[in-house]
């Protein structure tokens, strides 16, 4: 049987370059994440540690790439090249100093990319070749897009917690510079939080567009292709919302390259809320894609399903979206929304417990029951983080950073909300899945690509 492309079954081994794309993109996200964390103002890890982590990521990426293709070195080299080329976006400020010549920039960039390829090849030399399928590639790239976006949600949470959203007053440039060429010496304090958020947002946009193209070309299920298209539109809209949130400010005062005072307009505050909510909905869409693309979705065939499960999980998702809105209003607009948000939190916890009690005993689908349990744990953790955050940050919306512990608590609280919404979306997918009448036949069919 042929797959959606008409020439290849999703179960057939794919070419080395097809297998290399998800690995290269995954390596890039890992490298950017490591770089961001190591350079956080309250961490400032030594350069040698960051260098070591980046080298190990590239070597590991080479091993993974090699395990997915019989032509292991070509696959590893391709994955290293992908990582190196995308990394140039964040290294622009290093490779393009003011006195740089075109030839010097080309040499520096080429040397860096070749170094990434060499490290990936070194990783390939430590293992034997293997094979991969189109479905495995789709699964990898959708998971990478999800984790990259979850990382971005956390980064955005740090920007809000540090009240650094107006630290860079212009958009799409940064202090009049090309966004990718802002000198690293300027990326300190609040500017680091905001500008790194922009850079990582660009990476998520590139990863999402790559995922959309990859799934459209190689995904077996047409639903994944259309969801990828939806995600592409969402990531563009999200970037525009973030940009206009900055440019919509009423007034900004810059002294010696630093924003000393800013006054946000009503439109800017509204875009704050919409930008935050839409980012978490975007993450939930990626969670749905990762769920449908997962091997458990292909192999596991639930024999039992109830319409009541689907309805309950659907209403739970609606309730969590309402709770997300209340949280955004409390975080960005006024603490007068705290009481409704707290009441919504307890209602959400009770709803999660009820839904989990309905589904948690399901022995016909391990994934479905595990999602229900994970949702309970995450919701209880989220409620605890909410009280801790309220106690640490006080009863007023902050206008400036009040310390690392408060910042981390508020960011964790926001990020866990995104995780809960994603878990709920994944659970809804599993509850709406049509049960298999003959699970043995369904299992064999999934493995044969029928």
Report the percent of the chain where pLDDT is more than 70. Answer: 85
Report the percent of the chain where pLDDT is more than 90. Answer: 50
Residues 6+ apart with CB under 8 A from 57: 27, 30, 31, 34
Report the length, in residues, of the chain: 450
Tell me the CATH architecture of domain 300-450: Up-down Bundle (1.20)
188, 167 in Cβ contact below 8 A?
A: no
Q: Which of 26-30, 134-138, 175-179, 252-256 has the lowest mean pLDDT?
A: 252-256
278, 420 in Cβ contact below 8 A?
A: no
* pLDDT higher at 267 or 412: 412
How confident is residue 302, by pLDDT bands cut at 50, 70 and 90? low
CA dihedral 368, 370, 374, 375 (to 10 degrees): 20
DSSP state of 179: G
**φ/ψ of residue 301, rounded to 5:** -120, 95
74: its two tokens: 């070509």
121, 209 in Cβ contact below 8 A?
A: no
pLDDT (mean) for 258-280? 82
pLDDT tens digits, one per residue of 182-240? 877 788 888 899 999 999 999 999 999 999 999 999 998 899 999 999 999 999 999 99
Per-residue pLDDT for 437 more than 60?
Answer: no
Angle CA 285–288–289, to nearest 5: 90
Q: According to CATH, where is 1.20.120 located in the chain? A: 300-450
Please tell me the predicted confidence (pLDDT) of residue 423: 95
Residues 6+ apart with CB under 8 A from 131: 13, 68, 69, 70
Residues 6+ apart with CB under 8 A from 311: none
Number of H helices, E strands in the chain: 15, 2
Please tell me the predicted confidence (pLDDT) of residue 126: 93
Q: Which of 184-188, 294-298, 351-355, 370-374 has the lowest mean pLDDT?
A: 184-188
Please tell me the predicted confidence (pLDDT) of residue 425: 96
Please tell me the predicted confidence (pLDDT) of residue 149: 97
119, 98 in Cβ contact below 8 A?
A: no
Please tell me the predicted confidence (pLDDT) of residue 187: 84
**φ/ψ of residue 258, rounded to 5:** -125, 140
Q: Tell me if the bond preceding 355 is cis, omega within 30° of 0.
A: no
pLDDT tens digits, one per residue of 326-360? 988 888 787 788 889 889 889 999 999 998 888 86
Please tell me the predicted confidence (pLDDT) of residue 304: 58
């Amino acid at each position: 049987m042929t797959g959606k492309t008409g020439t290849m079954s999703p179960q057939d081994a794919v070419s080395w370059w097809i297998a290399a794309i998800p690995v290269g993109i995954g390596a890039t996200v890992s490298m950017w994440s490591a770089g961001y964390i190591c350079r956080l103002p309250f961490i400032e890890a030594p350069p040698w540690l960051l260098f070591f982590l980046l080298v190990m990521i590239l070597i590991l990426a080479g091993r993974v790439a090699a395990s997915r293709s019989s032509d292991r070195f070509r696959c590893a080299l391709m994955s290293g090249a992908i990582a190196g080329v995308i990394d140039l976006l964040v290294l622009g400020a290093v490779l393009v100093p003011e006195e740089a010549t075109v030839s010097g920039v080309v040499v520096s960039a080429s040397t860096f990319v070749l170094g990434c390829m060499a490290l990936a090849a070194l990783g390939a030399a430590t293992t034997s070749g293997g094979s991969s399928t189109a479905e495995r590639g789709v699964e990898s790239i959708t998971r990478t897009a999800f984790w990259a976006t979850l990382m971005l949600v956390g980064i955005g949470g740090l920007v809000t917690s540090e009240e650094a959203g107006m630290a860079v007053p212009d958009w799409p440039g940064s202090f009049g510079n090309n966004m990718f060429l802002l000198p690293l010496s300027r990326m300190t304090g609040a500017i680091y939080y905001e500008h790194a958020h922009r850079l990582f947002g660009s990476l998520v946009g590139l990863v999402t567009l790559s995922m959309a193209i990859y799934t459209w070309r190689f995904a077996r299920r047409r639903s994944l292709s259309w969801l990828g298209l939806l995600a592409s539109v969402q990531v563009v809209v999200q970037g525009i919302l973030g940009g206009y949130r900055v440019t919509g400010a009423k007034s900004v005062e810059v002294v010696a390259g630093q924003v000393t005072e800013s006054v946000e307009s009503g439109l800017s505050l509204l875009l704050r809320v919409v930008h935050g909510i839409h980012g978490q909905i975007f993450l939930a869409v990626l969670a749905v894609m990762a769920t449908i693309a997962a091997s458990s979705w292909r192999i596991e065939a639930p024999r039992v399903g109830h319409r009541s499960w689907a309805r309950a999980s659907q209403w739970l998702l609606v309730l969590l979206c309402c709770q997300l809105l209340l949280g955004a209003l409390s975080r960005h607009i006024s603490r007068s929304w705290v009481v409704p948000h707290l009441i919504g939190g307890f209602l959400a916890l009770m709803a999660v417990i009820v839904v989990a009690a309905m589904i948690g005993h399901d022995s016909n689908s391990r994934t479905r029951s595990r999602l229900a349990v994970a949702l309970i744990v995450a919701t209880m953790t989220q409620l605890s983080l909410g009280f801790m955050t309220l106690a640490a940050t006080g009863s007023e919306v902050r206008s400036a950073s009040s310390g690392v512990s408060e910042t981390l608590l508020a960011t964790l609280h926001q990020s866990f909300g995104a995780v809960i919404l994603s878990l709920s979306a994944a659970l809804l997918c599993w509850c709406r899945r049509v049960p298999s009448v003959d699970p043995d036949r369904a299992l064999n069919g999934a493995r044969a690509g029928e």
